[in-house]
Amino acid sequence: MYVTKRRFPVLVLVFVLVLVLQPKELMAPVAVTAIMLTMPGGSGAWEAQGASELVPPLGVVDPLRPYDSKRLLDDARTLARFYPEVLSLTSIGQSVLGNEIPLLKLGNGERHVLWVGAIHGREVMTCAFLLLIAEEYANAYCNLVSYDTYSADKVQELLDEFTVFLVPMANPDGVDVVTSGGSALVPIRDRDTWKSNAGGVNLNRNFPFDWESNIFDGFANNYLNNKGASPGSEPETQALMVLCEDNPFELLVSCHCAGKMLFWRDDKNGEVPGDESLAGTIAGLTGYTMLPSTKRALNGWAGGLENWFRYRYNRPAICLELGLFDTADEMTAAQFHSEDMADWSVNRNLVWGVLEGLPGV
Protein backbone atom coordinates (compact mmCIF):
# COMPACT_ATOMS: atom_id res chain seq x y z
CA MET A 1 0.00 0.00 0.00
CA TYR A 2 2.86 2.32 0.81
CA VAL A 3 4.50 1.80 -2.61
CA THR A 4 1.20 2.35 -4.42
CA LYS A 5 0.64 5.60 -2.57
CA ARG A 6 4.07 6.88 -3.50
CA ARG A 7 3.87 5.83 -7.16
CA PHE A 8 0.40 7.23 -7.87
CA PRO A 9 1.38 10.94 -7.82
CA VAL A 10 4.44 10.18 -9.99
CA LEU A 11 2.28 8.49 -12.62
CA VAL A 12 -0.15 11.39 -12.56
CA LEU A 13 2.75 13.82 -12.99
CA VAL A 14 4.07 11.89 -16.02
CA PHE A 15 0.62 11.80 -17.57
CA VAL A 16 0.13 15.53 -17.07
CA LEU A 17 3.56 16.25 -18.56
CA VAL A 18 2.72 14.17 -21.64
CA LEU A 19 -0.53 16.07 -22.10
CA VAL A 20 1.07 19.47 -21.58
CA LEU A 21 4.22 18.95 -23.60
CA GLN A 22 2.64 16.72 -26.26
CA PRO A 23 5.90 15.28 -27.64
CA LYS A 24 5.13 14.47 -31.26
CA GLU A 25 6.51 10.94 -31.18
CA LEU A 26 4.13 10.09 -28.36
CA MET A 27 1.02 11.97 -29.36
CA ALA A 28 0.87 11.47 -33.13
CA PRO A 29 0.24 7.72 -33.10
CA VAL A 30 -2.30 8.14 -30.31
CA ALA A 31 -4.15 10.85 -32.23
CA VAL A 32 -4.22 8.94 -35.50
CA THR A 33 -5.27 5.74 -33.76
CA ALA A 34 -8.13 7.58 -32.12
CA ILE A 35 -9.32 8.80 -35.50
CA MET A 36 -9.08 5.31 -36.96
CA LEU A 37 -11.21 3.95 -34.17
CA THR A 38 -14.00 6.27 -35.18
CA MET A 39 -13.78 5.33 -38.84
CA PRO A 40 -16.09 2.66 -40.23
CA GLY A 41 -14.04 -0.35 -41.20
CA GLY A 42 -10.89 0.92 -39.52
CA SER A 43 -9.15 -2.35 -38.79
CA GLY A 44 -6.12 -0.82 -37.16
CA ALA A 45 -3.84 -3.27 -38.99
CA TRP A 46 -1.46 -0.50 -39.97
CA GLU A 47 -1.19 0.77 -36.41
CA ALA A 48 1.60 -1.68 -35.70
CA GLN A 49 3.87 0.18 -38.12
CA GLY A 50 6.54 2.56 -36.86
CA ALA A 51 5.63 6.18 -36.21
CA SER A 52 7.41 7.36 -39.36
CA GLU A 53 5.18 5.12 -41.48
CA LEU A 54 1.91 6.24 -39.97
CA VAL A 55 0.18 7.18 -43.20
CA PRO A 56 -3.48 6.21 -43.24
CA PRO A 57 -4.93 4.01 -45.97
CA LEU A 58 -7.09 5.37 -48.76
CA GLY A 59 -10.85 4.96 -48.62
CA VAL A 60 -12.22 7.90 -46.66
CA VAL A 61 -13.87 9.38 -49.75
CA ASP A 62 -16.67 7.29 -51.27
CA PRO A 63 -17.57 8.92 -54.61
CA LEU A 64 -20.36 6.48 -55.37
CA ARG A 65 -22.67 7.90 -52.71
CA PRO A 66 -23.65 11.50 -53.47
CA TYR A 67 -22.34 13.94 -50.90
CA ASP A 68 -24.42 16.27 -48.78
CA SER A 69 -23.01 19.14 -46.73
CA LYS A 70 -22.69 17.14 -43.52
CA ARG A 71 -20.82 14.20 -45.00
CA LEU A 72 -18.54 16.57 -46.88
CA LEU A 73 -17.57 18.27 -43.63
CA ASP A 74 -17.07 14.93 -41.84
CA ASP A 75 -14.82 13.55 -44.58
CA ALA A 76 -12.91 16.81 -45.07
CA ARG A 77 -12.17 16.90 -41.33
CA THR A 78 -10.94 13.31 -41.41
CA LEU A 79 -8.67 13.99 -44.39
CA ALA A 80 -7.21 17.10 -42.75
CA ARG A 81 -6.43 15.07 -39.61
CA PHE A 82 -4.87 12.26 -41.63
CA TYR A 83 -2.59 14.44 -43.77
CA PRO A 84 -1.65 17.52 -41.76
CA GLU A 85 1.72 17.78 -43.55
CA VAL A 86 0.02 18.72 -46.80
CA LEU A 87 -3.71 19.25 -46.26
CA SER A 88 -5.58 21.76 -44.12
CA LEU A 89 -9.25 22.54 -43.69
CA THR A 90 -10.88 25.91 -43.15
CA SER A 91 -14.16 27.52 -44.15
CA ILE A 92 -14.62 30.42 -46.56
CA GLY A 93 -17.98 31.34 -45.05
CA GLN A 94 -21.53 30.16 -44.53
CA SER A 95 -24.42 29.55 -46.89
CA VAL A 96 -27.90 31.06 -46.71
CA LEU A 97 -28.92 28.27 -44.31
CA GLY A 98 -25.75 28.57 -42.24
CA ASN A 99 -23.83 25.59 -43.65
CA GLU A 100 -20.05 25.93 -43.79
CA ILE A 101 -18.42 26.23 -47.21
CA PRO A 102 -15.27 24.17 -46.64
CA LEU A 103 -11.89 24.99 -48.15
CA LEU A 104 -9.18 22.34 -48.38
CA LYS A 105 -5.67 23.62 -49.01
CA LEU A 106 -3.61 20.91 -50.67
CA GLY A 107 0.13 21.58 -50.81
CA ASN A 108 2.74 23.77 -49.21
CA GLY A 109 3.67 26.05 -52.10
CA GLU A 110 3.55 29.79 -52.51
CA ARG A 111 1.90 29.61 -55.93
CA HIS A 112 -1.88 29.28 -55.60
CA VAL A 113 -4.57 27.86 -57.88
CA LEU A 114 -8.30 27.45 -57.22
CA TRP A 115 -10.65 24.58 -58.08
CA VAL A 116 -14.34 24.94 -57.29
CA GLY A 117 -17.00 22.20 -57.26
CA ALA A 118 -20.77 22.02 -56.96
CA ILE A 119 -21.60 25.68 -57.44
CA HIS A 120 -24.75 24.14 -58.92
CA GLY A 121 -26.59 21.89 -56.51
CA ARG A 122 -27.43 19.03 -58.83
CA GLU A 123 -23.81 18.76 -60.04
CA VAL A 124 -22.86 17.00 -56.83
CA MET A 125 -20.42 14.58 -58.48
CA THR A 126 -17.89 17.40 -58.82
CA CYS A 127 -17.63 17.51 -55.03
CA ALA A 128 -16.66 13.84 -54.83
CA PHE A 129 -14.22 14.36 -57.69
CA LEU A 130 -12.32 17.14 -55.90
CA LEU A 131 -12.40 15.36 -52.53
CA LEU A 132 -10.94 12.25 -54.10
CA ILE A 133 -8.19 14.36 -55.66
CA ALA A 134 -7.42 15.76 -52.20
CA GLU A 135 -7.26 12.34 -50.59
CA GLU A 136 -5.21 10.56 -53.24
CA TYR A 137 -2.72 13.38 -53.85
CA ALA A 138 -2.18 13.91 -50.12
CA ASN A 139 -1.73 10.19 -49.60
CA ALA A 140 0.89 9.97 -52.36
CA TYR A 141 2.73 12.99 -50.94
CA CYS A 142 2.78 11.66 -47.38
CA ASN A 143 3.74 8.14 -48.48
CA LEU A 144 6.56 9.51 -50.67
CA VAL A 145 5.28 7.38 -53.56
CA SER A 146 4.48 7.93 -57.23
CA TYR A 147 0.96 8.65 -58.48
CA ASP A 148 0.12 7.04 -61.80
CA THR A 149 2.64 8.52 -64.25
CA TYR A 150 3.84 11.15 -61.76
CA SER A 151 7.02 10.07 -59.96
CA ALA A 152 7.38 10.38 -56.19
CA ASP A 153 9.82 13.25 -56.75
CA LYS A 154 7.35 15.03 -59.04
CA VAL A 155 4.54 14.65 -56.49
CA GLN A 156 6.75 16.26 -53.83
CA GLU A 157 7.95 18.96 -56.20
CA LEU A 158 4.47 20.02 -57.35
CA LEU A 159 2.90 20.15 -53.90
CA ASP A 160 5.92 22.01 -52.50
CA GLU A 161 5.72 24.62 -55.25
CA PHE A 162 1.92 24.98 -55.34
CA THR A 163 -1.00 25.08 -52.98
CA VAL A 164 -4.19 23.85 -54.62
CA PHE A 165 -7.21 25.54 -53.03
CA LEU A 166 -10.19 23.18 -53.28
CA VAL A 167 -13.72 24.38 -52.58
CA PRO A 168 -15.48 21.07 -53.23
CA MET A 169 -19.01 22.33 -52.50
CA ALA A 170 -19.55 26.03 -53.17
CA ASN A 171 -23.32 25.62 -52.84
CA PRO A 172 -23.97 23.32 -49.85
CA ASP A 173 -27.65 24.25 -49.50
CA GLY A 174 -28.29 23.50 -53.17
CA VAL A 175 -26.55 20.15 -52.91
CA ASP A 176 -28.60 19.27 -49.84
CA VAL A 177 -31.76 20.00 -51.80
CA VAL A 178 -30.96 17.27 -54.30
CA THR A 179 -29.22 14.72 -52.08
CA SER A 180 -30.89 14.93 -48.71
CA GLY A 181 -34.33 16.37 -49.20
CA GLY A 182 -33.41 20.01 -49.08
CA SER A 183 -35.37 22.81 -47.63
CA ALA A 184 -38.98 23.76 -47.21
CA LEU A 185 -38.25 26.63 -49.57
CA VAL A 186 -37.84 24.32 -52.52
CA PRO A 187 -40.83 22.66 -54.20
CA ILE A 188 -40.48 18.89 -54.37
CA ARG A 189 -40.94 18.92 -58.12
CA ASP A 190 -37.74 20.94 -58.47
CA ARG A 191 -35.47 18.83 -56.30
CA ASP A 192 -33.96 16.66 -59.02
CA THR A 193 -33.07 19.63 -61.16
CA TRP A 194 -32.10 22.17 -58.51
CA LYS A 195 -29.08 24.29 -59.41
CA SER A 196 -29.56 27.31 -57.14
CA ASN A 197 -28.84 28.08 -53.52
CA ALA A 198 -31.52 28.02 -50.82
CA GLY A 199 -32.61 31.51 -51.84
CA GLY A 200 -33.40 30.29 -55.35
CA VAL A 201 -30.46 32.18 -56.87
CA ASN A 202 -28.22 30.62 -59.49
CA LEU A 203 -24.84 31.49 -57.96
CA ASN A 204 -23.15 31.29 -61.33
CA ARG A 205 -25.33 34.21 -62.44
CA ASN A 206 -24.80 36.30 -59.31
CA PHE A 207 -21.21 37.58 -59.73
CA PRO A 208 -20.64 41.28 -60.47
CA PHE A 209 -19.75 40.96 -64.13
CA ASP A 210 -22.26 42.35 -66.64
CA TRP A 211 -24.88 41.13 -64.18
CA GLU A 212 -27.43 43.63 -65.55
CA SER A 213 -27.54 41.84 -68.91
CA ASN A 214 -29.30 38.89 -67.34
CA ILE A 215 -33.05 39.50 -67.44
CA PHE A 216 -33.94 36.52 -65.25
CA ASP A 217 -34.69 37.17 -61.63
CA GLY A 218 -37.18 36.14 -59.01
CA PHE A 219 -37.80 32.80 -57.36
CA ALA A 220 -39.92 31.62 -60.30
CA ASN A 221 -36.71 31.30 -62.29
CA ASN A 222 -35.07 29.49 -59.42
CA TYR A 223 -33.35 26.46 -60.89
CA LEU A 224 -32.30 28.13 -64.10
CA ASN A 225 -31.07 31.66 -64.21
CA ASN A 226 -32.31 33.71 -61.28
CA LYS A 227 -29.51 36.27 -60.91
CA GLY A 228 -30.42 37.45 -57.40
CA ALA A 229 -31.41 40.82 -55.97
CA SER A 230 -28.11 42.54 -56.75
CA PRO A 231 -24.62 41.62 -57.99
CA GLY A 232 -22.92 39.49 -55.37
CA SER A 233 -26.02 39.46 -53.19
CA GLU A 234 -25.62 35.86 -52.00
CA PRO A 235 -23.34 34.83 -49.10
CA GLU A 236 -21.87 31.97 -51.16
CA THR A 237 -20.93 34.41 -53.95
CA GLN A 238 -19.40 36.82 -51.44
CA ALA A 239 -17.37 34.03 -49.83
CA LEU A 240 -15.81 33.04 -53.16
CA MET A 241 -15.09 36.69 -54.01
CA VAL A 242 -13.32 37.31 -50.69
CA LEU A 243 -11.31 34.10 -51.15
CA CYS A 244 -10.14 35.31 -54.57
CA GLU A 245 -9.35 38.80 -53.27
CA ASP A 246 -7.26 37.37 -50.44
CA ASN A 247 -5.23 34.98 -52.58
CA PRO A 248 -3.41 35.68 -55.83
CA PHE A 249 -4.69 32.68 -57.77
CA GLU A 250 -2.91 31.97 -61.04
CA LEU A 251 -6.01 30.28 -62.39
CA LEU A 252 -9.50 29.09 -61.58
CA VAL A 253 -11.25 25.92 -62.67
CA SER A 254 -14.95 25.74 -61.84
CA CYS A 255 -16.26 22.19 -62.20
CA HIS A 256 -19.74 21.55 -63.56
CA CYS A 257 -21.69 18.68 -65.10
CA ALA A 258 -22.15 17.97 -67.88
CA GLY A 259 -21.07 17.97 -71.48
CA LYS A 260 -17.42 16.85 -71.71
CA MET A 261 -16.47 20.34 -72.81
CA LEU A 262 -14.90 23.51 -71.53
CA PHE A 263 -15.74 27.19 -71.68
CA TRP A 264 -12.49 29.11 -71.56
CA ARG A 265 -13.01 32.51 -73.21
CA ASP A 266 -15.91 34.96 -73.64
CA ASP A 267 -16.38 37.81 -76.08
CA LYS A 268 -16.90 40.39 -73.34
CA ASN A 269 -13.47 39.80 -71.76
CA GLY A 270 -11.70 38.71 -74.93
CA GLU A 271 -8.31 37.09 -74.66
CA VAL A 272 -6.84 36.66 -71.20
CA PRO A 273 -3.12 35.83 -70.89
CA GLY A 274 -2.65 32.08 -70.63
CA ASP A 275 -6.27 31.17 -71.37
CA GLU A 276 -5.67 29.18 -74.54
CA SER A 277 -2.69 27.39 -73.05
CA LEU A 278 -4.66 26.32 -69.97
CA ALA A 279 -7.68 25.28 -72.01
CA GLY A 280 -5.44 23.32 -74.37
CA THR A 281 -3.81 21.53 -71.44
CA ILE A 282 -7.18 20.52 -69.98
CA ALA A 283 -8.61 19.52 -73.36
CA GLY A 284 -5.52 17.43 -74.05
CA LEU A 285 -5.71 15.66 -70.70
CA THR A 286 -9.46 15.03 -70.68
CA GLY A 287 -10.21 14.66 -74.38
CA TYR A 288 -13.02 17.20 -73.90
CA THR A 289 -14.02 19.82 -76.48
CA MET A 290 -12.77 23.43 -76.31
CA LEU A 291 -15.84 25.51 -77.15
CA PRO A 292 -15.59 28.72 -79.19
CA SER A 293 -15.48 32.01 -77.28
CA THR A 294 -18.86 32.58 -75.59
CA LYS A 295 -20.88 35.01 -77.72
CA ARG A 296 -23.86 35.96 -75.53
CA ALA A 297 -24.34 37.63 -72.19
CA LEU A 298 -27.58 35.84 -71.43
CA ASN A 299 -26.99 32.21 -70.51
CA GLY A 300 -23.38 32.99 -71.30
CA TRP A 301 -21.14 35.35 -69.40
CA ALA A 302 -23.55 37.52 -67.37
CA GLY A 303 -22.88 37.00 -63.67
CA GLY A 304 -20.65 33.96 -64.21
CA LEU A 305 -17.90 33.07 -61.72
CA GLU A 306 -15.23 32.32 -64.31
CA ASN A 307 -16.20 35.38 -66.38
CA TRP A 308 -15.95 37.63 -63.32
CA PHE A 309 -12.57 36.09 -62.44
CA ARG A 310 -11.17 36.87 -65.93
CA TYR A 311 -12.48 40.43 -65.69
CA ARG A 312 -11.27 41.07 -62.15
CA TYR A 313 -7.79 39.52 -62.35
CA ASN A 314 -7.02 39.19 -66.07
CA ARG A 315 -6.07 35.57 -65.41
CA PRO A 316 -7.39 32.38 -66.99
CA ALA A 317 -10.56 30.76 -65.67
CA ILE A 318 -12.24 27.67 -67.02
CA CYS A 319 -15.74 26.28 -66.72
CA LEU A 320 -15.13 22.55 -66.94
CA GLU A 321 -18.14 20.40 -67.85
CA LEU A 322 -17.19 17.06 -66.37
CA GLY A 323 -18.77 13.95 -67.89
CA LEU A 324 -22.18 13.75 -69.53
CA PHE A 325 -24.60 13.44 -66.64
CA ASP A 326 -25.52 15.25 -63.47
CA THR A 327 -27.10 12.88 -61.03
CA ALA A 328 -27.89 12.80 -57.34
CA ASP A 329 -28.38 9.02 -57.40
CA GLU A 330 -25.98 6.48 -55.99
CA MET A 331 -23.83 5.06 -58.73
CA THR A 332 -21.81 1.96 -59.38
CA ALA A 333 -18.03 2.04 -59.60
CA ALA A 334 -18.33 1.27 -63.30
CA GLN A 335 -20.56 4.30 -63.79
CA PHE A 336 -18.31 6.62 -61.83
CA HIS A 337 -15.23 5.47 -63.72
CA SER A 338 -16.88 5.56 -67.14
CA GLU A 339 -15.90 8.16 -69.73
CA ASP A 340 -19.34 9.73 -69.45
CA MET A 341 -19.00 10.36 -65.72
CA ALA A 342 -15.78 11.11 -63.86
CA ASP A 343 -13.51 9.05 -66.16
CA TRP A 344 -11.38 8.67 -63.08
CA SER A 345 -8.49 6.66 -64.55
CA VAL A 346 -7.82 9.59 -66.90
CA ASN A 347 -9.10 12.63 -65.02
CA ARG A 348 -7.46 11.79 -61.70
CA ASN A 349 -4.30 13.27 -63.20
CA LEU A 350 -6.02 16.50 -64.19
CA VAL A 351 -4.88 18.67 -61.30
CA TRP A 352 -1.29 17.43 -61.60
CA GLY A 353 -1.41 18.10 -65.35
CA VAL A 354 -2.72 21.63 -64.94
CA LEU A 355 0.05 22.48 -62.45
CA GLU A 356 2.68 20.95 -64.68
CA GLY A 357 1.42 23.01 -67.63
CA LEU A 358 1.94 26.34 -65.86
CA PRO A 359 4.84 28.64 -66.74
CA GLY A 360 8.06 27.96 -64.86
CA VAL A 361 7.24 24.35 -63.93
What's the CA gap between 36 and 45, in Å, rounded? Answer: 10
CB of 204 to Zn ion, least distance (A): 6
By C-beta, is 142 or 305 nearer to Zn ion?
305
Strands 317-321 and 261-263 come out as antiparallel
What's the CA gap between 275 and 264, in Å, rounded? Answer: 7
Instruction: Tell me: does residue 120 bind Zn ion (CB under 5 A).
Output: yes
- The answer to whether the beta carbons of residues 96 and 198 sit under 8 Å apart is yes
Binding segment for Zn ion (CB under 5 A), chosen from 118-126, 221-229, 280-288, 344-352, is 118-126
Calculate the alpha carbon distances from 39 to 62, 97, 131, 303 in Å: 13, 28, 17, 41
Instruction: Tell me: does residue 122 bind Zn ion (CB under 5 A).
Output: no
Instruction: Tell me: does residue 337 bind Zn ion (CB under 5 A).
Output: no
- The answer to whether the beta carbons of residues 137 and 106 sit under 8 Å apart is yes
CB of 195 to Zn ion, least distance (A): 6
Strands 289-290 and 249-256 come out as unpaired
Binding segment for Zn ion (CB under 5 A), chosen from 31-39, 207-215, 251-259, 342-350, is 251-259
Instruction: Tell me: does residue 256 bind Zn ion (CB under 5 A).
Output: yes
CB of 61 to Zn ion, least distance (A): 21
Quote the strand ranges of 221-340, DSSP E: 249-256, 261-263, 289-290, 317-321
CB of 169 to Zn ion, least distance (A): 13
Binding segment for Zn ion (CB under 5 A), chosen from 123-131, 142-150, 216-224, 337-345, is 123-131
Instruction: Tell me: does residue 265 bind Zn ion (CB under 5 A).
Output: no
What's the CA gap between 61 and 79, in Å, rounded? Answer: 9
CB of 191 to Zn ion, least distance (A): 16
By C-beta, is 256 or 310 nearer to Zn ion?
256
Amino acid identity for residue 345 in this structure: S
Q: Which residue in the shown chain puts its C-beta closest to Zn ion?
A: 256
Binding segment for Zn ion (CB under 5 A), chosen from 35-43, 115-123, 233-241, 334-342, is 115-123
Q: CB atoms < 10 A from the CB of 30, how many?
A: 10
Count of residues that bind Zn ion according to CB under 5 A: 3
Give the CA angle between residues 55, 163, 313 to the nearest 5°. Answer: 160
Binding segment for Zn ion (CB under 5 A), chosen from 36-44, 148-156, 250-258, 296-304, is 250-258
Q: Which residues bind Zn ion (CB under 5 A)?
A: 120, 123, 256
